[in-house]
Every structure is written in structure tokens, then in C-alpha cells.
Amino acid sequence: MSFDSLGLSPHLLATIENAGYTQPTPIQSQAIPPIIEGADVLGAAQTGTGKTAAFVLPILERLGTSHQKKPRVLVLAPTRELAAQVAESVATYAGDTKLKHTVVFGGVGYQPQISAFKRGVDIVVATPGRLIDYYKQKIYTLAAIEVAVLDEADRMFDLGFIDDVRYLFRKMPPAGERQNLLFSATLSHRVLELAYEHMNAPETVKSDTERVNIGAITQTLYHVSKDDKMALLIGLLREIGDARTLIFINTKRVAERIDDTLAANGFNAATLSGDVAQNKRLR
């Protein structure tokens, strides 16, 4: 299957080619045509399946290329990092249009985000909390929303944002007057219930979640005593050389200790946790 058969305009096909994508991922080939037609879509897809492009590209197709100075599309994401990533995709895919977008999340200054709303935006990508702040301050309205996207819906529940999400949905035109897209790694009972409340007879599309990049990953398990862990880690990192490495830790305190030890051993490492300031996290 190629991107040509999905109903996207030549300018978007050129953007896709520039991004270096040669063929759509399964979630893209299933979701793009119904979204272009205006259907509600409920997608079961994890990060890494190409799900962002699966909704951003057809939304851009529907919006056209001209800027209208009021939020017409709202994408809600559970975490600041995901919101930032989605906004980066919007910037890439909408790069050759006059459409304006902004990203809204907590932990950073208010003024730049407020200024973006004042200048006028077509697409808003946001985490729920800060967006509600601005709503209550009447910085923007949701009255002209044509497309509402809920990304990683299951994590919205896990992180306790679901009441905020429902609040924002209620401020938009009724579900029947807007297009609703919901993506979630799992289509659990609570996610389906949410879909039932806020969507119109959605078409369900599923990515082959088992296949996400697994083929490209070699997994190795080391049985090692607690006292030897640090030495093993440093040995492995030396062996790996320049490759970029992610280390998952169960507590912030251990993360800091490892960060210090890595720095003392000459590694350029940084910690990402809830205690780290947002600007530093993004950097």
C-alpha cells in the first residue's frame, strides 16, 4: 500500500515524502481514509505505530491550508512530553500551510502560551490542566472546535485527568457537531465507555500492537547482585560507546545517585523525573 491511495492532497504527499516515509503504517492506512471522510475513529494503537501522523495528516487534509484565527482542532495528551511531541509533528506536517498551532502544558511560563492564543491558532495541542486554567481565564473558546482528538486515552484515566477531559468536551459543540478521534493503547471497558459518551458511532481501527519495533531490539537479562549493578552498568555503557541510552529507574532518589555516578565516570547523563523543572526536561 502507498500513501497515494489514501486520499491526501499533493502538498501533504510532498510533506510525507520529505519526512522520508515511503509507505503508511497499518494504523495510518486504516485511519486516514475514514478521518478524511469525517467519520469518528476509535484507534487501538501504541506510541511507535505512527499513530500521530495517522490523525494529524487527515486533520490537515480537512482543515485546508488557510488560517482562521480560532481553535478548530484540539488534541489532548496526558503528558507534557507527549503534547510536545505531537506539536512537533503538527509543525512538520503543517509546515507548508498557513495554519497556526500552539502547545499548552504546565510547568513553564504562562505568557508565551497566552500570546499564542491572542495571535490566533487553528490547532491546539495540550495537556488538560493548563488548558482548563486558560479556559477559566477566557483566553480562548472551544466554540469553534471541529475536531477533538484524545491521545492515549487509557493514560488519561491512569493519571487521573479524566474529569478534566470530560470538562473540556462539555465546553465544545455537542459530539454530533464535531469529529471525534480517540486513540488508546488498549480499548478497555472504561475507554469504550468514554467513547460511547463522547463519540458518534466510531469506526474502530487496530494496529498490530504486537509488532511495534520488537524485531529491531535485542534483549539481554543479567543476573547480578545489587552491589555489582553499578559496575556492570558502567562496563556496559563503555562497551556500547556513543549510542544514546535510556536507563529506567524505580525511584527519583536512585535516579539521582546513578546520574551522579555516571557524571563522575565521564558520561554525559541527565535525569528525567517529576522533580526536574519542565524547561530542563524538554532540553
Q: Taking CB under 6 A as the criterion, which residues in 1-40 touch ligand AMP?
A: 21, 24-25, 28
Nearest in space to 87 (alpha carbons), one of 111, 44, 116: 116
24 vs 58, beta carbon nearer ligand AMP = 24
Residue 278 in the binding site for ligand AMP (CB under 6 A): no
- Rounded to a whole number of angstroms, the minimum distance from the CB of residue 243 to ligand AMP is 18
Q: Contact, 32 vs 54, CB < 8 A?
A: yes
215 vs 241, beta carbon nearer ligand AMP = 215
Pair type for strands 101-104 and 123-126: parallel
Distance CA 178, CA 40 (A): 9
146 vs 152, beta carbon nearer ligand AMP = 152
Q: Which residue has the cell 484540539?
A: 74
- Rounded to a whole number of angstroms, the minimum distance from the CB of residue 59 to ligand AMP is 13
Cell output for 97: 500551510
| Count of residues of this chain found to bind ligand AMP when the rule CB under 6 A is applied | 11
Site string for ligand AMP, 34-73 (x = CB under 6 A): -------------xxxxxxx--------------------
- Rounded to a whole number of angstroms, the minimum distance from the CB of residue 84 to ligand AMP is 12
- Rounded to a whole number of angstroms, the minimum distance from the CB of residue 45 to ligand AMP is 7
Kindly give, in sequence order, each residue whose CB lies less than 8 Å from that of residue 4, ignoring residues fewer than 6 positions away. 13
216 vs 264, beta carbon nearer ligand AMP = 216
Nearest in space to 75 (alpha carbons), one of 66, 67, 64, 85: 85
152 vs 259, beta carbon nearer ligand AMP = 152
Count each helix (H run) and each strand (E run) in the chain, helices first: 12, 7
53 vs 258, beta carbon nearer ligand AMP = 53
1 vs 232, beta carbon nearer ligand AMP = 1
- Rounded to a whole number of angstroms, the minimum distance from the CB of residue 248 to ligand AMP is 18
Helices 51-63 and 10-19 pack at an angle, to 10 degrees, of 150
- Rounded to a whole number of angstroms, the minimum distance from the CB of residue 142 to ligand AMP is 24
- Rounded to a whole number of angstroms, the minimum distance from the CB of residue 2 to ligand AMP is 10
Q: How many CB atoms lie within 10 A of CB 43?
A: 26
Distance CA 250, CA 226 (A): 14
As beta bridge partners, residue 150 has 76, 182
Q: Residue number with the shortest CB distance to ligand AMP?
A: 52
**Sign of the CA dihedral 147, 153, 155, 157?**
positive
Q: What is the contact surface with ligand AMP in residues (CB under 6 A)?
A: 21, 24-25, 28, 47-53
